Amino acid sequence: MPPASSKADFPWWLVVAVAIAIAVAVFVATSDLYAQVFATVAKGIGITIFVTVIAFVLASVIGLGIALMGMSGSRLMRQIARFYVEIIRGVPILVLLFWIAFVGAPAFVAAWNALTAPLQNAGLFGELLVRDVSLLWRAIMALTIGYSAFISEVFRAGIQAVEKGQIEAAKALGLSRAQRFRLIVFPQAIRTILPPLGNDFVALVKDSSLVSVLGVADITQMGKVYAAGSFRFFETYSIVAYIYLILTIGLSLALRALEQRLHRQHEQ
């Protein structure tokens, strides 16, 4: 007889969720109305995935850089990193989205034109206009900046969790700082970093819905447009929620499986 705890740990919630997902999929396939709603809303899946993946990759790169700055030997670098993290984390993502879209982008265009004015006068460059910076990329940059502050803290905690004795041993072997990070620190830190980093990725999938306020044609925006024209709010937003649940739960399960695999490899 297996212990009671193993029975309690069986993911019955997942069985129920999969059963509901299959039932909804069958219902959507057999209903003309829901099939039409799904076909319309699903057009935004590609944009949602694109925004999420690009923003996450950029945020991870920037976040790693901020984390390394925060642990550098320079007090100035540490203070700059701390300032960035605290300020960005203190601003709601939606507010940051509006600020980047309607303040940051025009400021960037003005600065670019000022810096490249001699080249523009020489005919080498054309003048950059605000409308040349698409709302899609403004949204991506806002999500990138917002999540880079959170991801930097994930990297910092993971790197600092590595035993200092191993770093000292690597120093004694004559490894440079870059070699110590690449060969010793990061491979061990990734096991600590991966779970919260995966959580941030799933959270970013959900927060990508905020780009709809700029008219970016993601899942939420496609749902808003369809619901506004058909007044089928219940059907439309039920399908929108269904698609997001499929994406987020699927990603969570995949990340959990990857985490368990890395854990088993570490134990071997």
* pLDDT tens per residue across span 15-52: 998 999 999 999 999 999 999 999 999 999 999 999 99
* pLDDT tens per residue across span 195-254: 899 999 999 999 999 999 999 999 999 999 999 999 999 999 999 999 999 999 999 998
pTM over 0.95: no
Please check whether residue 35 is in contact with residue 120, taking contact to mean a CB–CB distance below 8 angstroms.
no
Residue tagged 């829901």 (tokens): 34
DSSP structure string for 236-249: HHHHHHHHHHHHHH
Task: Check the CA dihedral 193-196-200-202 and report its sign.
Answer: positive
Inter-CA distances, 231 with 121, 207, 209, 210, Å: 53, 25, 20, 21
* pLDDT tens per residue across span 46-81: 999 999 999 999 999 999 999 999 988 889 999 999
- pLDDT at site 58: 97
* pLDDT tens per residue across span 97-140: 999 999 999 999 999 888 888 888 887 878 888 888 899 999 99
- pLDDT at site 186: 80
Please check whether residue 244 is in contact with residue 219, taking contact to mean a CB–CB distance below 8 angstroms.
yes
- pLDDT at site 8: 56
- pLDDT at site 67: 93
